[in-house]
Each structure stands twice: as C-alpha cells, then as structure tokens.
Structure 1
Amino acid sequence: MTTPSNENPTAVQPGPPKHGLSKTIWVGLAVIVIVLLVVIAYGVMSRAAAERALEKQTTAAAVPTVDVVHPSPSKLSDAIALPGNTQAYTDTPIYARTSGYLKKWYFDIGARVKKGQLMAEIETPELDQQLQVAEADLKSSEANLNLANTTSERYQNLLKSNSVSKQETDQAMSDAAAKQAAVEASNANVRRLKQLQSFENVYAPFDGIVTARRIDIGSLIAAGQNTTPQELFHLAAIGQIRVYVSVPEVYSTSIVDGGEATLTLDEYPGQKFEGKITRNSNAIDPGTRTLNVEVDVANPKGLLLPGAYVFVHFKVPDHVETLSLPSNTLLFRSQGLQVGVVRDGKAVLVPVTISRDMGAIVEIGTGVTASDNVIVDPSDSLATGQSVHISDTSKSGDAQ
C-alpha cells in the first residue's frame, strides 16, 4: 500500500533569496572593474617605460661615436726631403732700346747663345735721319766756331794797337765761347743718337738659353719713356740652378750656409744632383712657420730645367723627438689648424702646429700630448663641449 505523499509534485520550488543574487552581481562587476584598472595601469606603465626607453635610445643615438688614436712619439730622421721649384740662376727679358722695325732675328726658343752674340737687328729710318740732321748741325756749329775764333783772335791783335775797343774785343771773345758751347751741345746730341743707333743690334747680355721669342720680322718696335716696353726675347742662364725651399721651423737651426743638399727628380729616377746651401732668409715666415733657404746646383749638362718640381734632401742632427698623427685627424678652420680631443666624454678642439708634413702622417710640433685621445675623421660640425662616445674598436685597440 502506497503512502500518499503530502508534497505536490507539480508545485514550484522556492528559489534563493533575492539579496543573495544582487551580491553576486556586484562582486562580478567589482572583479571586472579591478581587471580593467589593472589592464589600464599596465598599459600606461608599459607605454611610459617604452617612452623612457625610446628617449634613452634617442639620447644615446644623438651622441656620436668616434674612433680615436693616440699621438705616437717618433724620432726625426737624420735627413728630410722637402719640395722645391728650380729657377734659372739669371733670368731676364730683353727689350729694345730704340724704335723701329725688326729687320732680322737669329735665335729662336731653345737656342743656346753666348754673351755678346747678335740676336736681332732693328731698322731705324727715323733715327738715321735724326742723326744726319744732328751731324749737319754739328758741322754748322763747328763752322760758326771757327769763324768766331778767327774774329776773336783778330780783335785781340787789334786791341794791342788800340785799333778796336776793349768792349768789341770782349764781345768777340764771348761770341767764340758761345759758339764753342754750341759745338759741344751738337756733339753731345750726335753721340746720343749714335748710341741709340748702336741699339739697332740686340746682343745677348750673358750665356744662356732663349726661352721665349715674342717678335718677328717686320714687327713695329716702340721704345722710349712714353711707350710700353716690348719684350723681344727672354733669356735664362741655366748653367747653375737656384732652388728655394721652405724649411719647417723645427729644422731651421740645422740649416747652415755652405752645407750640402741633394736634389732628386721623378724624371731622373735613381739620379742625384749635388747642391750647396748658399743663403737663407734668417727669418721665420709667421704665416707658414718656415725658413726660406736657397740651394744652388751646378747644371753643366742642362739636365735641370727651370720650373721643374724637385725634392731637396737635407741632413739634420738626429736628436729631435716629436709626435705624429694621421693627417685625417686634422681640422682646417678659420681659427687655424686644429684637432679634436676627447676629454671626460666631451670633445675639445685643440690648436696644433705641424713641423713636418709626410702626406698620410704629419709630425705635430705643439698642441697635443702622447696620452690624448685624438678623434679620427672628425666631422665639420664638431664643436668644443659636444658629447662624444669612444667606439669599442678604439677601446679594444688601446687595450691591446
């Protein structure tokens, strides 16, 4: 027998209380809000960290990385080679002294001439006529002088017998003296014109080589104070050659007059020309800090030509020490020659002087020490106080 249940199977079961559901919702919302705040805070912090990292990277990138070298001490060799240009021992243009037309020339460029050789002839028709007139005037003056002398002698003889007055005699003697002066003036004019006429022939003033001929047959030649001088020839004596060399100040005390020097030329490989230090300027050029030295070289065969580029080798005492740097460390500024030196992470522009330029390497006279970090290939914008970073390559090189 089944016991009937008091419970209604179709009856609705009672749910949880309403206040419990509300509490669950609020907890969920709080969790969501907290998660959102955490996400937002994380995003803000991540962005700030990224901005700080970017700022740090930007600042680091703004500091240029440079390679540096230390000036290396070096001992100057007992010989130096300096560039120079050869010059003819005597070099002069030859001008006409009289006006006219060129009749003939006898030497062209490259010709060797001896002192006194006839180089050209000038026709001077106007001068010839002037000379003829002057000679005629001289003859007239001489004739007048002869007459005046005869008259003076006669008056002096007549004065002895009181046949003429003293006044007339003095006048005759004065007239003779005036005529004598006129003769001397005419004679001087004739000598002057003859001297000018002698310049019709142009002679070589010294032994040399004709390096230029600037006239030709029939050329009009004007000479005189009111005309522009016209060069006929250019003559150079190359039996002995001069070479002027700018010697750096550091070697100036080693250059002594009478000392020996040797010349070398690219066109004569392996051949040396012996020379002698003739003189020097005895003053340092403040612009270049060099001493101007003249070296004379005998050139009997004419192998050395004026204007040639040569190297002059001097022997100097082997006792001077200096510092050397690569030439790509130099900065050419309006303030003068400078190098960039790294000190306490900052660039400092230091003025320097060069005692010797060897192309890729220069010897520094003043400005740096052996412990300085000198910047290689400095930028044109490098300025004192600018922050720089020494490259790891340079540091590892120093460690080695």
Structure 2
Amino acid sequence: MSDSAQTETVTAPKGLKAAGIGAVLVAVAVVAMGAVTRAEDAHEAQHISDASSIPTVHLVPVTGGAAGDALNLPGTMEAWDAAKIYARVPGYVKAWYRDIGAVVPANAPLGSIDTPELDQQIIHARAALASARAAETLASDTAARWNDLLTTNSVSKQEAAEKNGDLAVKRAAVQGATADLGRLLAQKAFATVRAPFAGVVTTRAADIGDLVGPGATSQQPLFAIANISRLRIYVSVPQAYSAGMKPGLMATLTVPEYPGQAFKAQLIGDANAIDPQSGTMRVQLVADNPGGALKPGSYAQVRFDVPGGGGAVQIPSSALIFRAQGTQVALVGPDAHIRLQSVKLGRDLGATVEVRSGLAAGVKVVDNPPDSIADGELVRIGSPRHV
C-alpha cells in the first residue's frame, strides 16, 4: 500500500461547525434570559415585601360640637318624701289595714300591735299615780292643820316646816307618777301604726302574729311609704358644665318604659362641690308626677340645653391610644408619617368621646390604630371612614 493511501485525511461534514456555534449561542441566550427573569422576580418580590411592611390606616374626621350642644346624662329618681315605718312599742302584730300600692292620706292607720306587757305597765302606773295622789292629799291636810296650830304657837316652826316639806315631796311624787303614766300612754299610741304623710304604700312586711318592736330578734320596717306626687332627680354633671347649672334651669327626662315620651323637670339645687374621683358635680331636679307615671328608684336620661361646650370636639372611642404618656390620637402628616397628639377628654358618649383640648374640628385622626404605631412611622392611607 502506498503512503498517500495510509495518510488519507477524513473530511468533516459540511455545516457541522456552524451548527455547533449556533447551539452554543442559544445556550448562552437561555442562561441570560433566565438570569434576567430571576432578577426581575427578585426585584418584584422585594417591592411587594417593602409595600406590605407599610401599615394601612383609615382616617375619620373630627366633628365639632355646637355652641349650645345638648347635654344628655343619666339620672336616678327618688320619691319626694319616703319613710320606713318601724314598730315603736314591743308586741305582736294584731292586724294590718293597707297593702302595697294603697294610696293613703296622712295619719291613716296602717296596722295595729297588741301590747300586753305595755298594758300591764300602764295599769301599774295608774295605781302608782292614785297612791301618790292619796299621799299628797293626806300630806296637804296634815300641813294645813300644822300651819293652823302654828298661828297659836301650839307647834314649833320646825315641825310645821317638816309637814310642808313632806307635802312638797308628795306633790313631786304625783308629778313624777303623772309623767310616767303619760310616757306609757304615749307609747301606747304607737300601737296603731299610722302613715306619717300622704303617699303610696311601697312595702308591707307586717304579718299577723309577728313579734315586733324593741324586743324583736331583728328590727325590720313594718311598712314603707312614699310620696310620689313629685320626684327628685339626681344627676352627676361634668365639671365643664357645672357653671351652667343654675337653679331654675329646665330639663327634659325620658325613661325606658315610656319611649318617645318626655317629662319636664327643673333644677332646684346642686352640691356646689366637685367630686375629685369622678370630676362631676351632683345636682338635684324636681319633676311633677301627678299621674304616678314615674317610679322612684328608676333610671332616667336627663337632657339639658346648656352652653358650655367650650370648643369641645368629638371623635370615635376607637381612635384613642392609651399609653404611659397619657391619652393620645394618631394624625397623618403631609409626608404620610404618623404624628402622635396628646388630648384631654371630656364626656364619654359611648361610641364617641368628647375631646376638650388637643384637637380641632375638621382634622382627621387614625381610626383603630395598631398598638405598635409609633411617632414618625410611614403609613399608607386606606379608604376613608366616617363617625
């Protein structure tokens, strides 16, 4: 075999080199596109993370109070006159004549008490008085005779003075026995239990045969009576409105049992002092109650039309922040950063509270701020809310 045949060179197929270069370029392009996609995804994820870290808050407007805003406060009603009637004498309940709900005039009998021990004391006192009067009569006659004998010097002045002294002692004994009998008779008068004033019987705890009076095991009132022709209404008024509470000020009150019906009341006095614990002043009103519609001991809502809002505004109770620095609210500045503002509260109106200072009407505060909210924190403002 010749040398040319042994060294024959194998020639590569046409286009194979070009195909290899193309494959390399495609692989490089795929890797580059993957890198770009991952970079965009990472950037998007970072953007979402940054956005979610900014809390979204909702704002509510601060509403202003009118110059003559109505003042609505709870009050309690009491009878104009009320009395619990106890037994003044020891004994047993003999009878009762009036039950709860009975309308009675003044001095009307409500019940009677059987007093056997007191009756025996009265008999003894009458006998003691009779004995004292008999002794006085004898001493009077004796002193008269000795005074006659003294005119003829038949007896000494000393003896006559002794007889006159004995007469004075006997007269004093009569006075003492008379007073003792009168005291017992006065106690006996309490055996008939009477109404101290005209009114309605609100309680009857007397049952026939009950042991009552000072000798009873436990003293309980036999009856309770109340004059409900007029009622007293007691209201605790915040200090900011105390200056407007003048005698003669009119008010209206409503009660749950008569929805939609209002009753007139008039302020007649106040405590003239502020309770340091509640920051309120207790006032007293009177309301006529001819039909007995209002009940003593019940709750009423009292409305005063008084000035004294003092520029107070109202915000939802949910906007308040309670911290060591005091009561605060959160405001949002033009740069979307939080600014904490200290406020001074007035009345608690339930869903809203009155703010005496620190806020002005028209601004907006953050509603339901998170506990972690801080001064200068960046926030996002959500859809608006209204009080």
Q: What interval of TM-score do these two structures reach, taking the shorter chain for normalisation?
A: 0.7 to 0.9
Determine if contact 2:228/2:296 at 8 Å carries over to the other structure. Answer: yes
Query: How far has the Cα of 1:249 moved from its partner?
Result: 3.0
- Alpha carbon RMSD of aligned pairs, Å? 3.7
Q: How far has the Cα of 1:109 moved from its partner? A: 1.0
Opposite residue 250 of structure 1, the aligned amino acid is A
Q: CA deviation at 1:127?
A: 0.3
Amino acid at match of 1:97: R
Please list the CA deviations of residues 326-367 of structure 1 after superposition, one character each: whole Å capped at 9, or x if unmatched: 12223567997x23435785674735222462x322221124
Q: 2:30: which partner in 1?
A: none
- Equivalent residue, structure 2, for 1:250: 240
Q: 1:332 to 1:279 in 2, by over 3 A?
A: farther
Residues in 2 aligned to 1:354 and 1:319: alpha-carbon distance in whole angstroms: 10
Q: Once the 2 structures are TM-superposed, how far is the Cα of residue 287 of structure 1 from its aligned partner?
A: 2.7
- Is the CA contact (8 Å cut-off) linking 1:339 and 1:375 kept in structure 2? no
Q: CA deviation at 1:311?
A: 2.1
Secondary structure of 1:321's match? coil
| CA distance in 1 between partners of 2:194 and 2:79 (Å) | 20
Which amino acid in 2 is paired with 1:214?
A: A
Residue number in structure 2 paired with 1:137: 128
Contact 1:352 1:368 in 2 (8 A): no
Residue in structure 2 matched with residue 159 of structure 1 by the alignment = 150
Secondary structure of 1:110's counterpart equals coil
Q: Give the aligned residue type for 2:136.
A: L
Q: Please name the residue that 1:259 is paired with.
A: 249
Q: Contact 1:339–1:374 (CA<8 Å) still a contact in 2?
A: no
Quick one: distance in 2 between partners of 1:342 and 1:117?
A: 69
In the aligned structure 1, how far is the partner of 2:348 from the partner of 2:329?
19
Partner SS for 2:382: helix
Q: Does 1:327 align with 2:317?
A: yes
Instruction: Specify the alignment match of 1:354 in structure 2.
Output: 346
Where does residue 217 of structure 1 map in the other structure?
Answer: 208
CA distance in 2, matches of 1:303, 1:251: 29
Matched residues in 2 for 1:81 and 1:9: separation?
122
CA 1:59–1:135: 2 relative to 1, 3 Å:
farther
CA distance in structure 1 between the partners assigned to 2:130 and 2:245 by the alignment: 67
Query: In structure 2, what is the equivalent of residue 177 of structure 1?
Result: 168
Matched-pair contact (CA < 8 Å) for 2:314–2:354: yes
Structure 2 distance, partners of 1:193, 1:367, is: 72
Once residues 391 and 123 of structure 1 are traced to their aligned partners in structure 2, the CA distance between those partners, rounded to angstroms, is 84
Query: 2-side partners of 1:301 and 1:315: how far apart?
Result: 26
Count of aligned pairs between the two proteins = 356
Specify the alignment match of 2:13 in structure 1. none
TM-score normalised according to structure 2 size: 0.78
1:273: which partner in 2? 263
- SS of residue paired to 1:283: coil
1:114–1:331 CA distance, 2 compared to 1 (3 A):
farther
Structure 1: gaps of 5 or more residues: 12-41
Distance 1:212 1:378, change over 3 A: farther
CA distance in 2, matches of 1:288, 1:356: 12
Q: 1:360 to 1:102 in 2, by over 3 A?
A: same
Q: Does 1:284 align with 2:286?
A: no
**Cα distance in structure 1, aligned partners of 2:172 and 2:153:** 29
Shift of 1:293: 2.1
| Larger Rg belongs to | 1
2:298 paired with 1:308: yes
Contact 2:56-2:380 within 8 A present in 1 as well = yes
Quick check: 1:67–1:390 contact (8 Å CA) kept in 2? no
One-letter identity of the residue aligned with 2:204: R
* CA distance in 2: counterparts of 1:233 and 1:159, whole angstroms: 65
Give the Å deviation of 1:58. 9.7
Q: 1: distance between equivalents of 2:236 and 2:278?
A: 9
Identity of aligned residues (%): 38
Note if contact 1:263-1:313 (Cα within 8 Å) is conserved in structure 2: yes
- Tell me the equivalent position of 1:82: 73
The 8 Å contact of residues 70 and 303 in structure 2, kept in 1 or not, is answered as: yes
Partner of 2:221: 231
2: CA distance, partners of 1:9 / 1:259: 135
- Whether the 8 Å contact between 2:65 and 2:309 is mirrored in structure 1 is no
Corresponding position of 1:393: 382
Give the match's secondary structure for 2:274: strand
8 A contact 1:262–1:314 mirrored in 2: yes
User: Given residue 244 of structure 2, which amino acid in structure 1 is its aligned partner?
Assistant: S
Question: What amino acid is aligned across from residue 274 of structure 2 in structure 1?
Answer: I
Greater mean alpha carbon deviation, residues 268-277 or residues 169-178: 268-277
* 1:102 aligned partner, one-letter code: V
Residues 213-244 of structure 1: CA deviation (Å, up to 9, x unaligned): 112111000227x9854211111110001111
Taking the aligned partners of 2:272 and 2:77, their CA distance within structure 1 comes to 21
AA paired with 1:201?
T
Change (3 A) 1:93 1:355: same
The equivalent of 1:341 in structure 2 is 330
Cα 1:334–1:117 change in 2 (3 A) is farther
Query: Does residue 1:103 correspond to 2:94, yes or no?
Result: yes
Offset of 1:285 from its aligned partner?
2.8
Distance 1:349 1:78 in 2: 25
Cross-structure match for 1:190: 181
